[in-house]
Amino acid sequence: MAAEHAAAAPSPAARAMTSIGIAIALGFAGWLASLVPAVAGGAAPGAAWPWLPAIGAALAFRIDGLSLLFALLISVIGAIVLLYAHRYLRGHPHAARLQLFLTLFMLSMLGLVLADDALLLFVFWELTTVTSYLLIGFDSESAKARRAALQAMLVTGSGGLALLVGLLVVASVTGTLRISEWLAAGSIAGHAAYTAAFALVALGAFTKSAQFPFHFWLPAAMAAPTPVSAYLHSATMVKAGVYLLMRMHPVLGGGEPWFWTLTVVGSATALWASVLALRQTDLKLALAYTTVTALGFLVLFLGGEVDLAITASVTFLIVHAFYKSALFLVVGIVDHATGTREAQRLGGLARAMPTTAAAAALAALSMAGFPPLLGFIGKELKYEAALAIVSRPLALATLLVIANALTFAVAAVVAFRPFWRGEPETPRAPHEAPRRMLVGPLLLAAAGFAFGVYPELVGHYLVEPAVAAIRVTPVAVDLKLWHGINVPLAMSVATALLGLAFYAGHEWLRTLLGRGLAVLPITGDRVFDAALDALKRVAAFQTRILQGGSLRRYLFTTWLVVPLAIGSVLLLRGGLAWPATVSPIPAYAWPIVLLVAAGSFAPIVTTSRLASIAALGIVGAGVSLLYLIFGAPDLAMTQLLVETLTVVIVAVVLLRLPRFSGRDHPGQAGRVRDAVLAIAAGATVSALLLAVLASPLDPTLADWFAANALPAGFGRNVVNVVIVDFRALDTLGEITVVAVAASAAWALLKLRPGASARGDGA
């Protein structure tokens, strides 16, 4: 997509949006970097402004070691990706829009990791869902991109709804929405609501961070432009679920559900995704599956309660951010320069693209876990942590070696084979990338090397404060490149040997895996498609039943809900009640009551529309008289006016309507059915009113209205003040509905036969 516009100059709008986005990213990065010494020393600056004081919500932000680490990765890699995207999409007609979406996405992620209020965190969580939908579906003309964007939004959005409920459950247990106060209060593992809270929060995190069985949306999101993929996979959206689990570790950790769920789900995700990664021939898709593998590792170690497991998770978070963003940008350069990402068509690119090859080599060596890169330290920590988790150390260590070996092989497929083996068979002759596209991968790959040589820098200033924030207690972190000859080193050697074997036989393994996966009865992608198709079928069925075009059916369905929903609740929950005292109906009111009853019965037996509306007009007039008898003249006047106007207007409309015929005619059976429904609905409403009258009257609201009508609403008529002032928006809504209905009725009355067909009807 980018190559089609490579020769065109960037538009002024694209340049402006790039400059604004990079300025924002670098501004945040510089400000956050200035806070590193203080946060490393134990400080946690924050600020809060009132938002929804009635429920205790605030626009609260806080920077501790964990939020600082994530915010730095988001802002620094965000600036690199924005610069890269400017050149990658040079001349694209919608390049400015992509830069805008990337900037909004970056700000949403920053808000998410810095938020200290549960509702505010959820708002930013959903903003990342919306902005990622826009980014993944950037190529709106591509059906694949539209489907991937919809899939990502539905999967992560559904998890977001579960997360909201989970956060509210935690808030109800702790009595506050402030996350820092949750951390100070400690784990709620002993509370009765713990299981529900953990399950809901975990569901939100698993969907966002593509844990099994929700992993399928992330590879599909590769339909997005490469800069978007690099950003989503390295530092932003897919890490949001990991951030949530890290943040909630002090609150929800410590229980058996936490340990077993995160360990099992993380292990299954890592192993399954590493197998699928080796099967891919598209370099970008192979990297996508290794991202899922890395996310599985991160979740797996968060399940452990030992400090070493948390340290391994935080360190690998940084390792993965560096090498994965660099490799995605390298793959974008390869695609930009050659016109393909297929591994089988790429080879010998190092001669034409030496700088790109160097960046790819450094990043891939870190991904494979070679010294002296930071990836080696991260891998050693993972092995040490696996051995420290005492439940199943051997099984866990074996799983890690296999998954890391498969990742090793994928790193070779992505960064060794395209540059150092064979000859290219590409649509275009390979050439080196422009400087603006090379800056990002070179810086990120060099960072992995520099922090590997000097690990104490990242260990003291970034890893240690983040681990301390997760554990809510100071934790000493000592990152070293060399720990001597020990079991983790032996596991690293075994990983390299096994990885070389996997790479040597990756063509055969790819064929074997393809055959095996083809016979799987279900996959996550198929389940999603089946669920979406089922939803569409249910919607179509409901539309046929409920929206068939018959007004009679609409009314019947609407009123059927009254006895079924309200009546069943009254019966099942023991809501039927009779008031303790009932005033007798005066003798002079009985004729009016009988008149109302007769008017209600008349529409059942008559076949005339005009007679039916006249009979219902009698009902309204009788009710007006009852209002008047029982001391409500204002209601009586309103009722009488409404009934009179209704009869007149409906009578005029009836003169323009055709007679009942065919399927529209109710028939005798239809009349009986409608009568039964009307009686059931009336009986339900009557029972509900009797139950209300049987309950003790709470005059609090009425007393408040009476006390505040004059001083607050400047009126002595309490009813009018309530309608005009205290319920002004409600009244405005009612007026709007009536006005819209009147406009629609007027438009229908002005229609003439054949007008719509000719196009000249009003």
Rounded distance between C-alpha atoms, residue 756 and residue 751, angstroms? 8
Give the chain's length. 762
Tokens 């323009």 label which residue?
Answer: 656
Strand pairing partners for 48? 60
What DSSP string runs through 260-302? HHHHHHHHHHHHHHHHHHHH--BHHHHHHHHHHHHHHHHHHHH
Give the C-alpha distances (Å, rounded to integers) separating 21 from 82, 86, 398, 441. Answer: 7, 11, 44, 19
Question: ω into residue 257 within 30 of 0, thus cis?
Answer: no
Listed residue (311, 323, 450, 320) closest to 381, CA to CA: 311
Phi, psi of 342 (to 5 degrees): -75, 120
What is the Cα–Cα distance from 428 to 335, expressed in whole angstroms? 10
Q: Is the peptide bond before 372 cis (omega within 30 degrees of 0)?
A: yes
Question: What is the reported pLDDT for 392?
Answer: 66
CA distances from 537 to 151, 526, 533 (A): 18, 16, 6
Residue 466 pLDDT = 93
Report pLDDT for 391: 62
* Residue found by looking up tokens 């019947």 in the block: 556
Coil vs helix vs strand at 61:
strand
Task: Output the DSSP codes for 406-462.
Answer: HHHHHHHHHHTHHHHSS----SS---PPPHHHHHHHHHHHHHHHHHHHSHHHHIIII
pTM over 0.85: no
Contact 122, 160 (CB under 8 A): yes
Low-confidence residues of the chain: pLDDT under 70: 1-10, 235-236, 390-392, 517-521, 655, 657-667, 751-762
Residues 307, 287 contacting (CB under 8 angstroms): no
Position 698 scores a pLDDT of: 82
Asked if 412 and 441 touch (Cβ cutoff 8 Å), the reply is no
In this prediction, residue 330 carries a pLDDT of 92
Q: With the C-alpha atoms ordered 540, 546, 547, 548, is the resulting torsion angle positive or negative?
A: positive
| Residues ≥6 apart with Cβ < 8 Å to 96 | 11, 13, 14, 16, 17
Q: Could you tell me which residues come within 8 angstroms of residue 408 by beta carbon, excluding any fewer than 6 positions away?
A: 367, 368, 369, 495, 496, 498, 499, 500, 502, 503
What is the chain's alpha carbon radius of gyration, rounded to the nearest angstrom?
34
Question: Rounded to an integer, what distance in angstroms lies between the CA atom of residue 579 and that of residue 556?
Answer: 31
What are the helix and strand counts (H, E) for the chain? Answer: 33, 2
Question: CA-based angle 209:476:211, to the nearest 5?
Answer: 10
Widest CA span in the chain: 107
For the record, the structure tokens of 309 come out as: 């497991």
Structure confidence at residue 111 (pLDDT): 95
SS3 400: helix
Is 467:311 a contact under the CB 8 Å cutoff? yes
pLDDT for the residue numbered 664: 53
Going 263 to 203 to 177 to 120, the CA torsion angle's sign is: positive
